Amino acid sequence: MIDANVLKRLGETLAARKGTDPASSYVAGLLAKGEDAILRKVAEESAETLLASKEGDKLHLVREVADLWFHSLVLLTWHGLTPDDVLAELHRREGISGVAEKASRKSQA
């Protein structure tokens, strides 16, 4: 069975790496390099996800999406956010049509 709390634990681990010795972990090193380095990594993983999808290899696609999610979580950590922040937004959107949700964002702008 898949443990649904893995995102919460991963978010906690990433937060714990923030401010630690960059030589001690990949995440600490990436966070120490700053937002631009993190954004480049998210863009790279996004492109790799797109290419994996076009290949049609489902395992490769799953692995690339895992990399994309991971680096997106690093980006959230950089901003002091957690997976719970994203899950709360998804919960808010649940049951709302995409058209209505998008329209509500325009009216709030």
CATH code for position 11: 1.10.287.1080
Question: Looking at the domain assignment, is residue 63 inside a domain?
Answer: yes
pTM (2 decimals)?
0.86
Residue 49 domain flag: yes
Asked if 74 and 38 count as a contact pair (C-beta separation under 8 A), the reply is: yes
Question: Looking at the predicted structure, is the pLDDT value of residue 109 above 70?
Answer: no
Burial of 74: CB neighbours in 10 Å, binned 0-12, 13-18, 19+: buried
* Residue 32: inside a domain: yes
Number of domains observed in the structure of the chain: 1
In this structure, is residue 104 part of a structural domain? no
pLDDT in tens, 82-101: 999 999 999 999 887 877 76
Segments forming the whole domain that contains residue 10:
6-82
